[in-house]
Structure 1
Amino acid sequence: MTEVTRFAVTDHVATITLNRPEAMNALNPDLRFALSQHFDTVEQDDDIWIAVVTGAGDKAFSAGADLKHRAIERDASTEQKAEWQELMSRTRPLNERWYFPKPVIAKVNGFALGGGLELALACDIIVAADHAELGLPEPRRGLLAAGVGALRLPRQIGLKVAMGYLLTGRHMSAERGYELGLVNQVVPAGELDTAVDEWVRDILRCAPLAVRATKEVAMRGLDQPLSSAFAAEYQWELKRRASSDALEGPKAFAEKRAPNWQGR
């Protein structure tokens, strides 16, 4: 049986690949659970500093929820339904990990729709191939973008523009996503790997604890008034201040050499 995801770690970078290309990398319970396990690993492994998420094939990052599976659920046995429910009870999607500490890059290689776009919205950086299309088409299927998409999109591109997409289920091109500030970079499909590698390289030039502290301040600060956010205490910033990397950065600068980050 083909694994629903692929997971690899190289040089502090975890690559998570949704591996159901025959189904446009649609999210069924097994795939959702596998993603949850991978993000647990990324969060807990001190040797992982960055994660990159992408989809297998060249057609889709993820087309969202597996609607064929949802149709099957209606006629499934009581035992099978209980098994799926138990699996989902142990699933923690990235969408709902509000303050995930490490940077995550979405490498969008095609359609990112519904739950697929919700996954990308939960990432810190989106790099998309120029043929990619983004959207939350749930209302066209009688559904709601309940995986936080209907909440995140207005926060990321503004209310009026977001409502235009939320209420119609329209797709936006990768280029339009870039114009709206949703997508960080759009490149030809053949240059997508290189573009993401450049983002990874630049993040790895920074101290990993400084990156986590910066992300924590930015994300938690959004949920507070500016004065409160400025005065707040941040756990990753406390760890950064006490780290050897906080000494290594100025020392390397004074010695005119590249810093040797340890992540501690």
Structure 2
Amino acid sequence: MITTPTTTLVVEHHVAWITLNRPDSLNALNPELRWQLSQHLDEVETNDDIWLAVITGAGDKAFCAGADLKARALLKTASRAQLDEVKAYEDATRHIIERWQFPKPLIAMVNGYALGGGLEVAMACDLIIAADHATFGLPEPTRGLIAGSAGVHRLPRQIGLKPAMGYLLTGRHFSAQRAYELGLINEVVPKAQLRATVQGYVDDILRCAPLAVRATKACAMQGLDHPLPAAFEKTYPEEL
């Protein structure tokens, strides 16, 4: 196990279990956490012994409550050295929302609030399994912001334009059950069953040939960029 001030990483049986580990801040994203998550995803991407990854949050209150706005506010009075440290983290970070074609399966195990950047992290995953007490939303407009880490783009693609606009323009939260009804998440289960349910998906993926899983994901995702006939006719590198 690798433990950092903001995350933990456990790799076992070809699976990387990544935990956002700032429970006192509802696992909010600060520059160090973004950078550390980026480092873990680099390891997942390049390590041939890792076939998939699960991302979750520490504790049972939050998966991730979004950007750490308190930390962001402190930057207004930060020293030059502190600002340089933040910039160094940002320059070295390939955030999950920017990895448009991540090659291996990613599962979000949502154990509480998934708001703002937290929902954007979850939507960047291939599967979302949520506990029944989880809450979702993109409340940025209520703070004078937009869901600019691809939330304004991913939500309409994943649940349809009209339902998405209902949440994007109001900042409203919605329940795990509603997320399931909208097709945003794969399953909603009691909190006590969350880990076991995710493990079931993990076990089923591990039963498949890893290269076939990667090729399937790549073709499915890249095919979305083309009309169906063109997607069918296209030859993808992963198929060769």
- Give the TM-score, by structure 1 length: 0.88
Does residue 4 (structure 1) correspond to residue 9 (structure 2)? The answer is no
SS of alignment partner, residue 236 of structure 1: helix
Pairing of 1:60-139 with structure 2 (within 5 A): 60-139=62-141
SS of alignment partner, residue 146 of structure 1: coil
Match of 2:59 among 38, 57, 61: 57
Distance 1:2 1:101, change over 3 A: closer
Match of 1:205 among 183, 204, 207: 207
In structure 1, the residue matched to 2:219 is 217
Residue 83 of structure 1 deviates from its aligned partner by 1.8
In structure 2, the residue matched to 1:194 is 196
Match of 2:179 among 141, 155, 177: 177
Q: Deviations over 1:145-164 (max 9, x none)?
A: 01100100000000000000
Partners of 2:4 and 2:20 lie apart in 1 by: 11
Residue 206 of structure 1 deviates from its aligned partner by 0.8
Residue 51 of structure 1 deviates from its aligned partner by 0.2
Q: Deviations over 1:138-196 (max 9, x none)?
A: 00111110110010000000000000000000011000000000010000000001000
Q: Deviations over 1:80-138 (max 9, x none)?
A: 11221121011011111001010000000000000000000000000000000000000
Partners of 2:74 and 2:239 lie apart in 1 by: 48
Match of 1:160 among 159, 162, 172: 162
Specify the code of the residue in structure 2 equivalent to 1:162.
A
Residue 231 of structure 1 deviates from its aligned partner by 2.0
Specify the code of the residue in structure 1 equivalent to 2:33.
L
Gaps of 5+ in 2: none
SS of alignment partner, residue 182 of structure 1: coil
Residue 2 of structure 1 deviates from its aligned partner by 6.1
Gaps of 5+ in 1: 239-264
SS of alignment partner, residue 161 of structure 1: helix
Partners of 2:130 and 2:181 lie apart in 1 by: 13
Instruction: Give the percent of matched residue pairs that are identical in Structure 1 and Structure 2.
Output: 64
Q: Rg larger in 1 or in 2?
A: 1
In structure 2, the residue matched to 1:20 is 22
SS of alignment partner, residue 63 of structure 2: strand
Partners of 2:150 and 2:76 lie apart in 1 by: 24
The count of corresponding residues between Structure 1 and Structure 2 is: 238
Partners of 2:80 and 2:234 lie apart in 1 by: 49
Residue 78 of structure 1 deviates from its aligned partner by 2.0
Partners of 1:13 and 1:25 lie apart in 2 by: 22
RMSD in angstroms over aligned alpha carbons? 1.0
SS of alignment partner, residue 53 of structure 1: strand
Partners of 2:72 and 2:233 lie apart in 1 by: 47
Partners of 1:208 and 1:222 lie apart in 2 by: 22
Specify the code of the residue in structure 2 equivalent to 1:5.
T
Specify the code of the residue in structure 2 equivalent to 1:222.
L
Q: Deviations over 1:10-29 (max 9, x none)?
A: 00000000000000000000
Partners of 2:190 and 2:227 lie apart in 1 by: 40
